[in-house]
Structure 1
Amino acid sequence: MVSIPLNADARPTSIRVDAEATGKVGSQSEAGRAPGGPAEFDRIAPRLKAVLRVARYHGVELDPNEFRVASASPVPNATDLSQWAQNGGMWSRALRIRWSHLLRFEHTGPVVLLFNDGGAGLLTGASPERNVVFLKSADAPEDAEAIAIDELRLSQVWAGEAVLLRPARSYIAADAPFTLGWLIDLVRFESRSMRDIGIASFTLSLLTVLPPLMVMTLVNKVLQFNSVSTLVLLSATIAVLFVYETLLGHARRLIINVVGARLDTKLNLHVFSRLLRLPLDYFERHPAGETMYHLAQIYRIREFLTGKLLSTFLDLITLCVLIPVMFYINATLGWMVLACAGVIMLIIFAFLAPLRRRYQQVVDAETWKAAALGETVVGIKTVKALGLEPQRRALWDERVAEAGRARLAFGQLANWPQTLVTPIERAMVLGTMLIGAYLAMSDTSGYMVGSLFAFMMIAQRVAQPLVGLARLVEDFEEVGAAISEAGSVLNRPLESSSNSTGLRPKLVGEISFRDLTFTYIGTNTPALDRVNFDIPAGTMFGIVGRSGSGKSTIARLLQGINRDYSGFLKLDGVDLKEINLRHLRQGLGVVLQDNFLFRGSIRDNIIAGRPGLTLSDAMRAAHLAGAEEFIERMPNGYDTYIEEGSPNLSGGQKQRLAIARALIHDPTVMILDEATSALDPESEAVVSANLMRIARGRTMIIVSHRLSSLTECDQILVMDQGQVLDVAPHATLLERCALYRQLWMQQNRHLDNRQARLAAVPPRLV
């Protein structure tokens, strides 16, 4: 192994990767835990350690346990490291660079260089005058000095692999509002490609001027004086121009396609990222169909950016060349063309405000129509079960009729500008031709005929862009409405400002509520009113109460779904509002009453979100959840495919798979929110039998209205109307809590009746 002395004392520093430490990253026993000190930091693989150092330089704390190796190699590669940094909220790129590029990093932040033997170093600066770069080992102390390395020594251990890191995305702010300005910034980032397109368009515009001028020369010189030599020269010139124009047009279209694909990709990635960061209560208060319709307007915006807007931009370049030539040929006819274009623009401007109002009515009607469709698709099981097809069909007919009326009214109004503009467009072409013919007849020199032909050819190329430019304003009104619709979703307050913000404490599982009050939006009655209780780490804690007492609200607050509470909710002594949301949820395992399974295999669903884990990890989680017995009976075992809606699984099977999915990353805190309420007695018995095994070594919070599933809990919290009535074990609550005793008797009165009947039967004589 070749070594470079990267420490200040010039001792060789080994840059061999610790494969064993790399293997530990992301393991089930370590998932969700952040590095706690220098000892744990030393066990991290050198390449991960280098990325951590650079991230800390930029003020971002990455979690090594979130690192996942997507490749088969045990050594983290540049792509895996870059993806890890991106998941942590940073801008990152894996690339190969040359020595000449390294010399440009004089005053930039540190750059991670990946060595051939699996190690890594930090490039902290460069000196082009001395032809050296300054490197520091990932293990070197913070105050250690960097060592100057020349190209020859570095080339012995480095093949060009590097990882660039910055604290935020470079092309556009990820948290900026979705507005027209945001879109302009998105297009402006492609300035280099747009420059190339502009140069090509300007050149093509010059080429479009030459054929009309050649026609004018052909008429005025060749036909009038029978000059064969001039005809041959013009023919050769036109042939060369045609070839050049064809090749240049092909290159321009390729660049336009690349720019369009980039804009489309960035737009879609940004939209989906914003959608995922919206809080859960937004989706609870807005129909899925409404959200889908609003986001579908992104495609209209994309078509405008890469279609009409870009083509109009190119037309403007053409106009800058053609209009002066048009006036050069004949100023009178040129003013006629511009006057007609100005009248067309005035007509379109006059109809903008009424069209905007009518189009907003179309948007509202289409939104309600999409909401009805989405609601029907999502609730199709209920529609079928209750026979609601006639009612849903009547609702759909009503929404379709409203949308049809709105579109008809908009179309009728939009037809008037087209009707008024059509004769002016014809006058622009035919009128100039007629007046030009009159001027040609009055011309005694004979050169006006060739000029008329040339002007007509140029006028046809000018008229269409001028009309298109006028209509762009009308198209922009529709796109503006589309931006407003998409912004109504994307500009909602996000769950967190960034994945990189917030504390990442090592989670133990101690939870404390102190004078906590929470009220849902749109209501005046608090869901939780001055709640106080503690959950020691490693205990099984039950929560019971009547419907609407605040049981599920406590579970929502623990997951960080709602953070606008007053009072204190602390996890291991740290207020939940201060903890990084991603770090918090990776330390939690949550099982709901109705769990969604994704389309894919059983194994994929169990290890969802943890792609670095294997089949053996899925089998361990399934065994812990009591799911292995029915999985092994399936024809393809863990590779059994689950369709959307999980029609091939029972409710109990789905619930046990959900528990296995929650256990796959060994969470510190496990939350079961009515997880057994929809199960049959057999499935509930299987899950309950595994609760003690599941709860071992972690804090278990069980929200349930079935008291029989909570008898083994260390403590049970009794809630009523958002307030805490009592906290105690099962036996104690039966004695001193009237509400708990009442709920217990209601759920177990069939047993008391059975015992009474048995007591009334006289004993048989033997």
Structure 2
Amino acid sequence: MAAARHHGLDLDPRDFAREPGEDTPSPATLARWLTEQGAVARGMRLTWPHLIRLHNTPPIVLMFRDGAAALMVRADPARGLVWLRDPMAAASDSPVPVDETHLSQLWTGDVLLVKRARDATEADAPVNAAWMLRMVLRERGLLRDILLASVILSVLAVFPALLVMQVIDRVVNYASMATLFSITALMVILSGYEMLLSHARRELTLVLTTRIDTRISLHAFNRLLSLPLDFFEREQGGQVIGRVMAIFKVRDFLTGRLLSTFLDLFTLIVILPVLFYLSATLAWITLAAAALIGLIVLVFMRPMTRLYGRVIGAEMARNSVMHESVAGIRTIKTLALESARREEWDDRTAQVVRWRLAAGRLANWPATLSAPLDQFLNRGIMLVGAWLILTGHSGLAAGGLMGFMMLGGRVAAPLASLARLLENLNEVASSLSEAALVLNQPTETRALTTGMRPQIHGALSFGNVDFTYPGATVKALDDVSFAVPAGTMLGVVGRSGSGKSTITRLLQGVSRAYTGQLRLDGVDLRDINLTHLRRSCGVVLQDNFLFRGTIRDNITAGRPGLTMDDVARAARLAGADEFIERMPGGYDTWIEEGSTNISGGQRQRLAIARALIADPRLMILDEATSALDPESEALVNANLQRIARGRTMVIVSHRLSSLVHCDQILVMDRGAVVDIGPHAALLDRCALYRGLWMQQNRHAPVVARIPATAARAEGR
């Protein structure tokens, strides 16, 4: 934490979770967590000579054997001393000088280097061909070793052909048994070297492709998570998933055909001069045939690009139907919509089949036209070579022809693969552009990792706030102004579309494209670090999603570093402990996907417990009880008085009866503030509020209720 504060990062240790099986956090685990929090961190192992030379660096974290750590703030190579500071000590405390002998008794050799992330990083770079190339070039060391092995293997590939020439021209013609034994021994030795080098190259290639695959996968998922919520609300889930998955076609191309073709080209560079040495005539014929294959592929490349684009679009549309059907399977079953969904799936599948068949038929033409050239390279060269030998037009002998045939096949294959590689580029380019439509959307990365991290108390102030949703012509919020002090229980009411939920979205930082002043504890909301803001707020929605896992895992989803005592406290406060304790597994009870094994009221109380686990100073309940039965709603509302103690509550509800205990009730209509005040005052002076109340409580007497602050004061 101290090293992060040196770089302006204020971290909460409750956000940190150890890896399973770790008694003390490792440098790798700490580096991963710090990177997620907006820093650049790296764990490594150093020796004393290397450590003491780091005297002009920011604070370095040294890991000790007993699980503790210290900050190295200064080093003096001349005196052989480093100065250490206790991370938990006050800033005024002086660091302690330590020499190599004393440090070696405590230090494991592990260090953690921390610095602030740059504004423009690889994580924010646009996903395009240049980005993919940079991703590959980050493995320069592995690429160098693979290329070196490829060059050596290419040289070794020449020797078997030369040895075959010697067998035919010398051993067979002159019946030389000694020469045969010598050539056999040499061939065995070369085969052994080739086997070992081939194994090493395959191992290096596997490590390279695995690293590239991991980096691309992590980047794609991290970029997806950093996209703002309104993007997912605008786009179809199936389309988003399909486009993101398209980047894995690019990954397969980079780590498969492209890499193998690139390595084969080194064989071409080495073998081609040998072919011209054996027979220039046959070498030119081989190159001409391979060039014709490439020309055929180039002719068909543009129409193939268009058809592959249609195929990808049709497949994404079909995937959207699959995703939507799985997500809405409960509705499909209850309304017996299987036939309608099956018909739509059939239509989408027919489109995929239509375009894939058209693409396959078009791709069949270059394969058909190039087949005679392929056959000529495999068989025709031998006939031409035999004719040259018989007519005496070339100095080529029988052994030379056999050697040329062995090497010529290894030349034609890379040239043909290079031509076909251009065909794959069409599909890869289409896939990359589809993935870029999602991954290159503006992200929240900067807002999530930068900004102020003030202590949140909960005082809210809206000053002339206007907000319009993208593509809309009517303002969702129109000159909204109000203020409430910290600790206020604020209800928000109004007709549908009046802007109630928009206010809560702005408070969560979901949308920041508003005008006017929106302040939290006097700080402009746009200046606050977005991660800090959202973790300082507890949010409960009308339909809350619970992850597949235990009750404990779901309650601590936002704060994995918290203890069982924290879980039990949040569950008690939310009124969830009474039903959790009746379950067979208690807090370890498994929640199935879709929360099918618990009731709606239980799900809402678990969502409230999850929001309360971090003890937020600001709680937002957006229609949190509208989908509950009366008994569950009464239970949740009864707990709100306990939950509201010491925190600001913003409660959006259509049911005014659940808001009568609020300190202030904000009445909205058509995006504007109509009035704000306690329940009794609004009944007297606000016609809109009185009308809404009478609609919902025709048979109930109009009684002024005690404000929540007074009720909570009496409760104390």
Amino acid at match of 2:71: G
C-alpha deviation, 1:556, in angstroms: 0.6
Secondary structure of 2:619's partner? strand
C-alpha deviation, 1:132, in angstroms: 3.6
- Does residue 421 of the first structure (1) align with residue 373 of the second (2)? no
The equivalent residue for 1:571 is 520
Residue pair 1:68, 1:612 contacting (<8 A) in 2 also? yes
The equivalent residue for 2:508 is 559
Q: Structure 1's 101 and 157: CA in aligned 2 closer, same or farther, altered over 3 A?
A: same
The equivalent residue for 2:708 is none
- Does residue 741 of the first structure (1) align with residue 693 of the second (2)? no
The equivalent residue for 1:342 is 291
In 2, Cα distance between equivalents of 1:449 and 1:489: 60
C-alpha deviation, 1:52, in angstroms: 2.9
The equivalent residue for 2:615 is 666
Deviations 1:438-468 (A, max 9, x none): 1111339986111100000001111111100
Deviations 1:98-122 (A, max 9, x none): 1243255365544222344524131
Equivalent residue runs for 1:562-711 within 5 Å: 562-711=511-660
Amino acid at match of 2:683: L
Q: 2:171 aligns with which of 183, 202, 222?
A: 222
Q: 2:201 aligns with which of 239, 247, 252?
A: 252
Amino acid at match of 1:337: T
- Does residue 381 of the first structure (1) align with residue 330 of the second (2)? yes
Amino acid at match of 1:137: R
Q: 2:390 aligns with which of 427, 438, 441?
A: 441
Residue pair 2:41, 2:112 contacting (<8 A) in 1 also? yes
TM-score, structure 1 normalization: 0.87
Amino acid at match of 1:700: M
Residue pair 1:105, 1:126 contacting (<8 A) in 2 also? no
C-alpha deviation, 1:80, in angstroms: 4.8
C-alpha deviation, 1:79, in angstroms: 4.3
Equivalent residue runs for 1:714-725 within 5 Å: 714-725=663-674
Structure 1 runs not aligned, ≥5 long: 1-47, 754-766
The equivalent residue for 1:99 is 48
Amino acid at match of 2:583: M
C-alpha deviation, 1:528, in angstroms: 0.4
In 1, Cα distance between equivalents of 2:72 and 2:365: 67
In 2, Cα distance between equivalents of 1:480 and 1:217: 48
Q: Structure 1's 498 and 546: CA in aligned 2 closer, same or farther, altered over 3 A?
A: closer
The equivalent residue for 1:21 is none
Residue pair 1:103, 1:126 contacting (<8 A) in 2 also? yes
In 2, Cα distance between equivalents of 1:448 and 1:260: 44
Residue pair 1:298, 1:483 contacting (<8 A) in 2 also? yes
Residue pair 2:226, 2:444 contacting (<8 A) in 1 also? yes
Q: 1:286 aligns with which of 209, 218, 235?
A: 235
The equivalent residue for 1:121 is 71
Deviations 1:55-105 (A, max 9, x none): x24x54444553445578886653453344222112222232212432553
Secondary structure of 2:584's partner? coil
Secondary structure of 1:749's partner? coil
Q: 1:135 aligns with which of 75, 83, 99?
A: 83
| More divergent stretch after superposition (386-395 vs 105-114) | 105-114
Secondary structure of 1:718's partner? strand
Q: Structure 1's 498 and 691: CA in aligned 2 closer, same or farther, altered over 3 A?
A: closer
Secondary structure of 1:174's partner? helix
C-alpha deviation, 1:569, in angstroms: 0.7
Deviations 1:337-384 (A, max 9, x none): 111111111111111111111111112211211112211211122222
The equivalent residue for 1:17 is none
In 2, Cα distance between equivalents of 1:66 and 1:373: 36
Q: Structure 1's 215 and 71: CA in aligned 2 closer, same or farther, altered over 3 A?
A: closer
Structure 2 runs not aligned, ≥5 long: 703-716
Equivalent residue runs for 1:479-494 within 5 Å: 479-494=428-443
C-alpha deviation, 1:282, in angstroms: 1.0
The equivalent residue for 2:255 is 306
In 2, Cα distance between equivalents of 1:729 and 1:319: 84
Q: Structure 1's 337 and 578: CA in aligned 2 closer, same or farther, altered over 3 A?
A: same
What percentage of residue pairs aligned between the two structures are identical?
A: 53
Amino acid at match of 2:610: R
Q: 2:455 aligns with which of 506, 516, 532?
A: 506
Amino acid at match of 1:228: M
Secondary structure of 2:334's partner? helix
Deviations 1:250-278 (A, max 9, x none): 11111111111111111111111111111
| More divergent stretch after superposition (341-350 vs 680-689) | 341-350
Amino acid at match of 2:524: D
In 1, Cα distance between equivalents of 2:394 and 2:658: 107
Q: Structure 1's 134 and 597: CA in aligned 2 closer, same or farther, altered over 3 A?
A: same
Q: Structure 1's 448 and 147: CA in aligned 2 closer, same or farther, altered over 3 A?
A: farther
The equivalent residue for 1:757 is none
In 2, Cα distance between equivalents of 1:624 and 1:144: 41
Residue pair 1:186, 1:263 contacting (<8 A) in 2 also? yes
Q: 1:210 aligns with which of 135, 152, 159?
A: 159
Equivalent residue runs for 1:270-419 within 5 Å: 270-419=219-368
Q: 2:143 aligns with which of 191, 194, 199?
A: 194
Equivalent residue runs for 1:126-205 within 5 Å: 127=77, 130=78, 132=80, 134-138=82-86, 150-168=99-117, 173-205=122-154
Q: Structure 1's 300 and 735: CA in aligned 2 closer, same or farther, altered over 3 A?
A: same
In 2, Cα distance between equivalents of 1:379 and 1:304: 34
Counting matched residue pairs gives 700
Amino acid at match of 2:345: W
Q: Structure 1's 328 and 170: CA in aligned 2 closer, same or farther, altered over 3 A?
A: farther
Q: Structure 1's 329 and 641: CA in aligned 2 closer, same or farther, altered over 3 A?
A: same
C-alpha deviation, 1:137, in angstroms: 2.4
C-alpha deviation, 1:685, in angstroms: 0.6
Residue pair 1:102, 1:133 contacting (<8 A) in 2 also? no
The equivalent residue for 1:33 is none
Secondary structure of 1:666's partner? coil
Pairwise CA RMSD: 2.4
> Moved runs in structure 1, 4+ residues, more than 6 A?
71-75, 139-148, 169-172
Equivalent residue runs for 1:444-523 within 5 Å: 448-497=397-446, 499-523=448-472
In 2, Cα distance between equivalents of 1:486 and 1:562: 24
In 1, Cα distance between equivalents of 2:682 and 2:541: 26
Q: 1:265 aligns with which of 214, 223, 230?
A: 214
The equivalent residue for 2:707 is none
- Does residue 531 of the first structure (1) align with residue 471 of the second (2)? no
Q: Structure 1's 435 and 545: CA in aligned 2 closer, same or farther, altered over 3 A?
A: same
C-alpha deviation, 1:404, in angstroms: 1.4
TM-score, structure 2 normalization: 0.93
Amino acid at match of 2:483: D
Q: Structure 1's 729 and 141: CA in aligned 2 closer, same or farther, altered over 3 A?
A: closer
Secondary structure of 1:667's partner? coil
In 1, Cα distance between equivalents of 2:157 and 2:186: 13
Q: Structure 1's 170 and 519: CA in aligned 2 closer, same or farther, altered over 3 A?
A: closer
In 1, Cα distance between equivalents of 2:461 and 2:495: 23
In 1, Cα distance between equivalents of 2:599 and 2:514: 38
The equivalent residue for 1:756 is none
In 2, Cα distance between equivalents of 1:132 and 1:220: 72
Secondary structure of 1:541's partner? strand
